[in-house]
Amino acid sequence: MILAAALAAQIALTPCTIEGAPGDAKCGTYKVWEDRGSKQGRQIDLSIIVLAALEPNKKPDPFFMLAGGPGDAPSFNANFFSRVFHDIRRSRDLVLVDLRGTGKSAPLLCPELATPGSDGTFDANLLSVPAVRACKVRLDKIANLRFYTTEIVVDDLEEVRQALGYGPINLYGTSYGSRVAQVYMRRHPEGLRAVSMKGIVPASMAMPETHARAGEDAWQSVVARCSKDAGCNETYPLVAVEFRELLKRLESNPAMVLAASPQRTEARISVSRGLFAEAFRNVLYTPEGSAQAPKLIHQLVNGDDAGIIETALSGRRVLGGDRLAAGFFLSVTCTEDVPYLSKDADAMAANTFGGNYRLEQQRGACKEWARGNVSSAHRQPTKSAIPALLLSGEFDPVTPPAGAEEVVRGLSKGRHIVIRNNGHPIGNAEKCIGVMIGQFLDAGSAAGVDQRCAADNPAPPFLVSGKDK
């Protein structure tokens, strides 16, 4: 009781307005030590948003959100979570805590990664080594980059739970957030009532070891579905050939210019096969993107150079923006993933459209970055009796269903449901996922969750000649 009172004294939430989220909300911060072991030196203000239950007589167990990346933050998605989990929010608080180094919690941003070279041209590197080096030099002045890892952020979250005065909570973790959820289950099981996850990262996954193969599988599924769809097959019968032709053309690493317009400034970029392929893999994350992919490839191979540049730029700039905290991304992956890449990682990436580009980019960046510490439990499967609901998209190009199957084997009260025609994010299964997780939380068990909506989830129609077929 004394500890709980002391923690609560450090937190002050005040009424706030979250655009697009109905009902009452409170916002505030909670200080944690950057170095949790020594409890000395810098402190970090963790951003907290509590979207209050919409109806009276709320239930005591709130629903905490965990974002992906690594480097994204739930505060950026507050209105989205409020919408998807609206029915859950009727009787439960939704709690959004930005992990240290992300969102509004002293974010470790690397704008250097979205800055062109001295000649004004973007190179073909997702993680340009000079930019990574410059970012680290700058961030080293304000942060110890070794202290931004999953086990540490989980201990932060448990401290926040106690400070807010909650008993056991419910978690939702998506993508990297599913790793955070599994580590939470292992380190602080007493703080959890139930855990739901989407786009599952298994303990054995060393990102980005499987990205290229999963992306290739997702692309082949698009090609196969297009060939079976009358309109898509009639309009784009050679899409697989066209894609190979486009990638071949980009092997020369052409320098390309996107002309200025009223909506944009001129941009110059060196577009390599690897950079374009990595950006295109992101197109496949959603079923809507996949449905547009045949048309996109057909246009690009037939003279739409502006489209090639825009696709490449979208991938090239993503880690340099203010949404994904690249410094946190690097601290996590350079500690927990890249050092554990299999000796067969490059072989696994062979004969895929992405090849080993992403592997080489992250290896190069991690040679420049700080490496933190992990416990002996790192990469060990989580074994738990906490009720768990695991959700996978059938065509997820980064965390396919096999990963969730690996995780659920260690969860005695776990259940895995594959959502048909779905990708990595919630996407086109928004209503279905909200209903299933609501049933799960109400019952405190995954056993009775009705999965019929997952089996019946429709595929978006292929985009043909500018119109939905």
**How many folded domains does the chain comprise?**
2
Q: What is the pLDDT of residue 260?
A: 79
Domain that includes residue 358, residue range: 109-142+206-376
Q: What is the pLDDT of residue 8?
A: 54
Say yes or no: 154 and 184 in one domain: yes
Q: What is the pLDDT of residue 5?
A: 53
Say yes or no: 250 and 332 in one domain: yes
Q: What is the pLDDT of residue 468?
A: 43
Say yes or no: 273 and 321 in one domain: yes
Alpha-carbon gap, residue 338 to 382, rounded angstroms: 20
Q: Is 260 a domain residue?
A: yes
Q: Is 360 a domain residue?
A: yes
Write down the pTM of the prediction.
0.95
Query: What token pair was written down for 169?
Result: 């909570």
Q: Is 467 a domain residue?
A: no
Say yes or no: 255 and 301 in one domain: yes
From 349, 376, 403, give the residue that closes a domain. Answer: 376
Backbone angles phi, psi at 464, to 5 degrees: -125, 120
Say yes or no: 153 and 119 in one domain: no
Q: Is 240 a domain residue?
A: yes
**Mean pLDDT of each 10-residue bin along the chain, 469 residues long:** 54 93 96 97 98 95 97 97 97 98 98 93 96 98 98 98 97 98 98 98 96 96 97 97 97 86 86 97 95 97 94 94 97 98 97 98 98 97 98 96 98 98 94 98 98 97 71
Say yes or no: 137 and 10 in one domain: no
Query: For 102, which DSSP code?
Result: B
Say yes or no: 265 and 356 in one domain: yes
Say yes or no: 250 and 334 in one domain: yes
Say yes or no: 292 and 351 in one domain: yes
Say yes or no: 227 and 80 in one domain: no
From 376, 401, 425, give the residue that closes a domain. Answer: 376
- Name residue, tokens 């855990």: 195
Q: What is the pLDDT of residue 294?
A: 98
DSSP notation for 395-459? T-SSS-HHHHHHHHTTBTTEEEEEETT--SSSGGGHHHHHHHHHHHHHHT-STT---HHHHTPPP
Say yes or no: 331 and 241 in one domain: yes
Q: Is 460 a domain residue?
A: no
Q: What is the pLDDT of residue 75?
A: 97
Q: Is 463 a domain residue?
A: no
Q: Is 270 a domain residue?
A: yes
Q: What is the pLDDT of residue 12?
A: 84
Q: Is 339 a domain residue?
A: yes
Q: What is the pLDDT of residue 407?
A: 98
